[in-house]
Structure 1
């Protein structure tokens, strides 16, 4: 039996954790012995797991990041133990996901994988791997990473550094460590991200795009909406929905708040994932939810919505649009980063960033059925491009080609 080991900060939690879980289950069905290494508290899983994290390791790594801008260089002892465990497991393929997240000594694990000549798939879910500090840079139009990072304008963003800008050194060690890696196959989650990677020091590596997928067993339009409509008084109302695991300015929170002033009495915006303080201060016309109980409830909201809004200015994929499509709901997105490639004329509208007049105008057009958008086209787009089972199978096929 062939063995695959996935490595990610979390398992069965958040978008990357659920992707690991889905790939693992699919690999298991296809006869692979599957293990997932994770670094932080996660949801339970039936898959084989290896918990690399500890409170001490996390605190030490956090300190290295905050004080010395040395993210990715903490947790050395726990990573060396992981390497010893890998010696015992002898994986045919190691699949890296997010190697950042205060849990992994990146030089140690990469040096080990290179020395052992293990086939590696690395899915890039963000931009951390080819910058000197940040995970995203598009919101400030920074292009230093194309040559060499220095005087980083985002040291106060994740992974936060309090005092030191070590971006130039970080860029150089990443470039040296990751470049010319013979056994490496890079997977990006969007064409936009693939194009970005090809502009940096990883451009010579093998790169392909595999879109994230949505679980159609959970996200589908056949949900009972009685409870939601009654609890939130949504009968006969036009609902614009947006969801995020962590809201910020780049996720468009200010734009949603401004958009509320456009709404008529029969229109409402629902924001999921807000902190309690933000919920208390929302203007009229916005319903704020801290979280949903589970993905099934989230799917109910997507099904109830008349449109899904994604007013983020930095997306390497844009899962909310796809989850909405799977529930038969179209999307309005900003014309920036990966968002536009997910939407076509039959499933949504692409708007220039922060043009709220155009956002609202197209909300009204959707409300009045003035666009060539249909539930059937939304469902077909998922079936043809974003079905999780089909997308996960592409990873299994990649594993097979490398082993």
Structure 2
């Protein structure tokens, strides 16, 4: 296998943010871990991302053969995601200038999320020649049509600009990497993607970070009572994640099993400030905690860096991913690798990993009574809990990032033939 020069575009979010404990999503982890493994396989990887802070160094040498470039485009500050699209032309101009100055060329370009795809199409036009067109490989991470299907209001609805961009990117991409069979089907039937372009490759997990840790040690680290029955949510604090439904379910369990020392840990969001400065969704959940009269049951933990998350997963008895839509669900994968049972909605891509006979682990969207019964069952049946933990860990052991990177390299190489 010859070494490839790979341009990776992560325009709207910096992959390094996930290591710093900043509010991030699965895409940050995905891009960084994939890039690390590609570099470890001998390929040269340059990641281009928008500079969000004046203190960001222009170039970060992340590992051997792996660099990350912070490119100025618009204010060097956090900007609302939907406002970022206006700065893409400046981003493209500055990436092109950097590459011209450094005399850089690439074999393939891998774009993450639709905004990166918009930039990628423009860069492809600048870098291609009559003899050679630079291949574009796209990973969408989420799809506008599916997000709009479950949107609860105008603020959550993706606009026509994003949808048009995704449709254009589907046409222009040489290959599309889908994290699950369900997302592959959405791309084929709703976006009319050529099925021969779609490659289903689930994301990986870093087993050096996420692995079983003794519950006593994990609970000591997170400051939890050894006797507590801990249910945990990990992820972004946004309506799409269904955290309110989980809180309803926890209320039901607390009423049905009043002697159970129940706790719900919500890991995510910025809670370092005064409550009045929390995000709108966090404030809504805080009001719901009071309304349901479970203030002592629900604990807001805030965002945690990857190395600490492993302790939180291992401290949990059950991890719940109650999302209305999830292209895959990397937090569930991380929890399963730690040997913790995960209850997920049947709309999440990762649900395909859960054996049909493990119905206790699949729940329905907006059905807090069903979710409550599933949580209660796992918390009160230790033998079943232990069996499921062992089986799920064995199932995800093959999803290491090295294996994922090797499959993606095959996709890159197929685009060069």
Do Structure 1 and Structure 2 share a fold, with TM-score over 0.5? Answer: yes
In structure 2, the residue matched to 1:268 is 263
Deviation at 1:252, TM superposition (A): 1.4
- Please tell me whether residue 402 in structure 1 is matched to residue 415 in structure 2: yes
> Which residue of structure 1 aligns with residue 209 of structure 2?
218
Q: Tell me whether 247-256 or 46-55 shows the greater mean CA deviation.
A: 46-55
Q: Tell me the residue number matched to 1:156.
A: 155
1:49 aligns to 2:68 (yes or no): yes
Correspondence for 2:297: 285
State the number of aligned residues: 367
Instruction: Assess if the C-alpha contact under 8 Å between 1:346 and 1:377 holds in 2.
Output: no
Deviation at 1:354, TM superposition (A): 2.2
Deviations 1:302-336 (A, max 9, x none): 11211111111111111121111100001111222
Deviations 1:82-133 (CA, angstroms, capped at 9, x unpaired)? 23445632201111112427x96465235446665112221121114xx5xx
Q: CA RMSD in A?
A: 3.3
- What is the match of residue 187 of structure 2? 197
The offset of 1:219, in angstroms, is: 0.3
Rate the CA distance shift 1:19–1:309 in 2: closer, same or farther, 3 A.
same
Match of 1:90 in 2: 105
More helix by percentage: 2
Secondary structure of the residue aligned to 1:303 is helix
| 1:309 matched residue in structure 2 | 320
Query: Which residues of structure 1 form unaligned runs of 5+?
Result: 141-152, 160-164
Q: How does 1:104-253 map to 2 (within 5 A)?
A: 105=119, 108-112=122-126, 117-128=133-144, 136-140=147-151, 156-157=155-156, 167=160, 171-172=163-164, 175=167, 177-178=168-169, 180-181=171-172, 184-204=174-194, 206-223=197-214, 225-226=216-217, 228-229=219-220, 232-244=223-235, 246-253=236-243
Residues 186/366 of structure 1: CA separation in 2 closer, same or farther (3 Å cut):
same
Cα deviation code 1:357-392 (max 9, x no counterpart): 2222222221213647432212111113x2222112
Which runs of 5 or more residues in structure 2 are unaligned? 19-23, 276-281, 290-294
Maintained 8 Å contact 2:4/2:43? yes
- Equivalent-residue separation in structure 2 for 1:124 and 1:110 (angstroms): 18
Tell me by how many angstroms 1:56 deviates.
3.6
Give how far 1:401 is off.
3.4
